[in-house]
């Protein structure tokens, strides 16, 4: 049950909400076409969503067959949980033989 909070603009205190994001640039060395790229990204997004309960979307779609930018988001009530979840996602992606991570940027709010 939410607590009443006079300082909140909404009048109710639902607790702390921590939002964590990853922006990941990947190289897909085995992609020889846009179809190959889309196949790898679809598999990666579907497995990541199911395994970690995160939202994953392709950012800045481009026509380069071997490059992609992904945005990954998770929400929780505990900063340590959110940071740990994003760390696990990044580690899982690093271990994926179909992609190479070029850059990983993390932000927590």
CATH number at 28 reads: 3.30.70.1120
Domain assignment present for 103 = yes
Domain assignment present for 79 = yes
Strands (E), 7-99: 12-13, 18-27, 55-59, 67-76
Range of the structural domain that residue 29 is part of = 16-108
Domain assignment present for 2 = no
Number of domains in the chain: 1
pLDDT grade for 25, boundaries at 50, 70 and 90: very high
Task: Please give the mean pLDDT across all residues of the chain.
Answer: 90
pTM for this predicted structure: 0.83
* Contact assessment for residue 15 and residue 43, using Cβ atoms and an 8 Å cutoff: no
Domain assignment present for 5 = no
Predicted confidence at residue 62, as pLDDT, reads: 74
pLDDT grade for 14, boundaries at 50, 70 and 90: confident
* Mean pLDDT of the 10-15 span: 67
């Amino acid at each position: 049950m939410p607590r009443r909070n006079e300082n909140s603009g909404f009048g109710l205190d639902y607790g702390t909400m921590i939002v964590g994001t990853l922006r990941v640039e990947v190289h897909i060395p085995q992609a020889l076409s846009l179809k190959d790229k889309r196949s790898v990204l679809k598999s990666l997004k579907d497995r990541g969503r199911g395994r970690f309960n995160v939202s994953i979307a392709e950012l800045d779609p481009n026509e380069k067959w071997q490059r992609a930018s992904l945005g990954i988001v998770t929400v929780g009530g505990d900063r340590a949980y959110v940071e740990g979840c994003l760390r696990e996602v990044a580690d899982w992606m690093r271990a994926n033989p179909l992609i190479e991570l070029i850059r990983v940027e993390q932000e927590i709010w």
